[in-house]
């Protein structure tokens, strides 16, 4: 699990390289998230134009990364980010978005569980045949 709170963030914020290390995503991904409209606040910049990431930025990037890891499409993360950035009053819409995604994740988990059962079955067959010494009797296609 990514831990954004691992060490205090300096008052001046973190460089993009430090933010990348802290969040577990590349600097390229951080720039992409910003360009794609996935970041809910404007990332601070130094007088020289370099990005400086605050705790809120890192926390939000972690949310985006985890949603993405569960298969949420970029367009849906953007929609969620827009709702969050818009502020109060759309909490019902945010809830509906999260509930819909949760249902999709649960369906994927169920499918993965079924697939894992098949894999476990095949492992059991191979182990059993190898232990019995008759693995050469396993079906193999002839081509």
Render pLDDT for 45-71 as a digit per residue (tens, 0 to 9): 998 999 999 999 999 999 999 999 999
- Which residues pair with residue 53 across a beta bridge? 14
Using a cut of 0.85, tell me whether the model's pTM lies above it: no
Count of CB atoms situated within 10 Å of the CB of 4: 19
Report the pLDDT value the prediction gives residue 141, as an integer from 0 to 100.
79
Least Cα distance to 39 among 56, 21, 24, 18 occurs for 56
- Which residues pair with residue 51 across a beta bridge? 45
Report the pLDDT value the prediction gives residue 1, as an integer from 0 to 100.
45
Residue given tokens 């509930």 in the structure block: 99
Question: Which tokens go with 39?
Answer: 């970041």
Report the pLDDT value the prediction gives residue 6, as an integer from 0 to 100.
67
């Amino acid at each position: 699990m990514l831990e954004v709170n691992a060490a205090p963030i300096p008052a001046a914020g973190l460089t993009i390289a430090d933010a990348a290390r802290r969040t577990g995503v590349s600097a390229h991904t951080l720039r992409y998230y910003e360009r794609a409209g996935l970041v809910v606040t404007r990332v601070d910049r130094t007088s020289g134009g370099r990005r400086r990431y605050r705790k809120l930025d890192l926390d939000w990037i972690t949310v985006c990364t985890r949603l993405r890891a569960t298969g949420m499409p970029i367009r849906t993360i953007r929609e969620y980010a827009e709702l969050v950035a818009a502020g109060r009053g759309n909490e019902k819409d945010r809830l509906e978005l999260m509930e819909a995604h949760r249902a999709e994740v649960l369906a994927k988990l169920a499918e993965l569980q079924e697939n894992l059962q098949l894999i476990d079955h095949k492992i059991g067959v191979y182990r059993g045949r190898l232990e019995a010494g008759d693995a050469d009797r396993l079906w193999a296609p002839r081509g």
